[in-house]
Amino acid sequence: MESFEEGDLTKDIGTPLLQETVGNVTKLILEGLKVMHQQGIAHGDLKPGNIFVESMSPVWVKLGDFGVSKRILAQSNQTLHTPVSTQLRSTPEVLRLGSNSETSDYTNCVDIWSLGCVI
């Protein structure tokens, strides 16, 4: 397992980052999510503690902690059902706050919602 001397993004909570830095971090995370989603993988718990910093100059971050990640087959219209992730960054579907809270389904789009919360 890799070691990240810079830690993760939790150390930056409450400290404003330069807009350019936030943009670069966001772009890298989106690129990582694109690859994952193309492979049918939903991270499911995207949060500052799961975004590891290799370097802030130049910006280089990596996604980690895939313990609750799920895979959806590309040819299926399968959805996820397991209520996972950190509540502060969870979609209404994951929190079962939808119109049918007993059977709330969701897709890997939950990662985009969580990224918006992180940013």
DSSP class per residue in the chain:
----TT-BGGGGTTSPPPHHHHHHHHHHHHHHHHHHHHTTEE-----GGGEEEEEETTEEEEE---TT-EE--TTS---B----S-GGG--TTTTT-STTGGG--B-TTHHHHHHHHH-
Active site residue 45: yes
37: CB partners within 8 A, 6+ apart:
108, 111
| From 8, 12, 45, 65, the catalytic residue | 45
Q: Which residues are catalytic?
A: 45
